[in-house]
Amino acid sequence: MSLKKSMSVPQGVVLAICTIIGSGLLGLPGLAIEAGGGAAAALAWPLTMLISLPLVVIFLSLSLRVQSSGGVARYAAMALGDWAETAVSLIFSITFMLCIPIGTYMGCIYLQKIFGLPESSVIWLAIGVLSVSTVVNFFGLRPASWINIASALSLVLLVLLIVISQPDLLAKGTTAYRHYALSLPDVPISSLWTAAAVLFWAFLGWENLSFGTEEVSGGTKAIKTIFAVGFVLVTAIYAALAVVATGAEASGLNIHGVAGLLGLLDGSPLAIVAYPLIVLVVLANVNAWVFAASRLIYSAGRAHILPSFLGHLAENGMPRRSLAFMLVAYICICTALHLGLFSITDGLMLANQNFIVIYLAVILCYVRLNRSLVARLIALLAVASSLFLVAGFGWTLLVPLALILAGHQLEQRRRLRPAALAS
């Protein structure tokens, strides 16, 4: 029994939007300004959009070659051998187990702050969001798509609310962009790099679409459309936010802190409308990542990389066992965060090192499978863009390296087992 091809192009597009854009969209502009200054942050937006494109092209190219719920792990097998699929599956499993609950926890801290709830509520908000996302995925793509569509509309509506509340920001932002573009030679490269490194995180997540390609109906044409339209819409939403943030900074308005751009609605009756929209955005972002993780775990179970019971589908064609298994892992990580057993920073640093290894592995797969000069140029640009993820190489780099070694050893044992049984 395999996953059903029930994902339409519109469902795929909204999944892409919700995977890439999360609750951080309102806080990142202010963080970039704090990190690099107004001019550097403004110029870093178009720069980051450009440098993220090679990675999008690579994930699209590999998704067109094979449609599998194994996603990136399956590409690794095609280019480097079965041991690479085992290694990448292990790395991604650990990364999802960390990233999804940590990202949810951070999003719920955001909700706790803007709603004025006690700090003790964060753990329950996080568990609630993760549980709802898991249950929604239990019932298939259609209910999950309803949440994603509502969230995509919420993103557009949030931007419109901010523009309506401060109608002069677009004009001021456009004027400021012209000024910053003319003064580009005066902007320190270090400031531009720092701001771009902050914003680059806003464009991560395209790898998650690879785990859903097995369910896309319409073949390679549909996959191309999902990636292309998704990238255009994500870029358009971020471009609008960039202009608004630049206009706010030029006007001397405060968009720093947890609320970020949402602070522009302070005192406005529109703020009451914005808060439930933020909840939808957080829920849909988590929902999209839970979807991707369940497909990877299901595929790894199906390939006997992880326990085989995880490779089972329910009667409705959904990988419910992998969803339930991961929910338990998410709750454990959230509980550990709440108890202070490790910090959000430590978890993000480990996930960061895992992403660096995964992205470099994907780029290597792309080069092995595409020998043209253009492909090599795209790969070189993708390596350059991946450098924005580098935040120092500490002991955490040992984790993905150990998982690569474990993947190689596991695959060797799997190969030797039939020979031993035969003898």
Q: How does pLDDT run across 276-332, given as a tens digit for each residue?
A: 888 888 888 888 889 989 999 999 999 888 999 999 998 888 899 999 999 999 999
pLDDT at 126: 94
Residue 269's Cβ-count burial label (10 Å; 0-12, 13-18, 19+) is: exposed
State yes or no: pLDDT of 421 exceeds 50: no
Q: Under 8 Å CB-to-CB from 128, ≥6 apart: which residues?
A: none
pLDDT at 129: 94
Q: Under 8 Å CB-to-CB from 85, ≥6 apart: which residues?
A: 70, 73, 74, 76, 77, 303, 305, 407
Least confident of 9-18, 241-250, 293-302, 342-351: 342-351
pLDDT at 212: 86
Tens digits of residue pLDDT in 315-325: 888 899 999 99
Average pLDDT, the chain: 85
pLDDT more than 90, % of the chain = 22
The pLDDT-based confidence of 394 (bands split at 50, 70, 90) is: low
Least confident of 7-11, 164-168, 216-220: 164-168
Least confident of 38-42, 196-200, 297-301: 196-200
State yes or no: pLDDT of 418 exceeds 80: no
State yes or no: pLDDT of 133 exceeds 80: yes
pLDDT at 36: 84
Structure token digits, residue 236:
């358009």
State yes or no: pLDDT of 372 exceeds 80: yes
pLDDT more than 70, % of the chain = 95
State yes or no: pLDDT of 20 exceeds 80: yes
Give the mean model confidence (pLDDT) for residues 353-364: 84
Instruction: Please tell me the pTM assigned to this model.
Output: 0.84
Domain locations in the chain as residue ranges: 9-422
Q: Tell me the CATH class for 9-422.
A: mainly alpha
Task: Answer yes or no: are the C-beta atoms of 177 and 42 closer than 8 Å.
Answer: yes
Helices and strands counted in the chain (H then E): 15, 0
Residue 242's Cβ-count burial label (10 Å; 0-12, 13-18, 19+) is: buried
Structure token digits, residue 195:
């701001």
Among candidates 216, 238, 307, 272, which has minimal Cα distance to 32?
A: 238
End-to-end CA distance of the chain: 32
- Around Cβ 375, how many Cβ atoms within 10 Å? 16
Structure token digits, residue 404:
């690569």
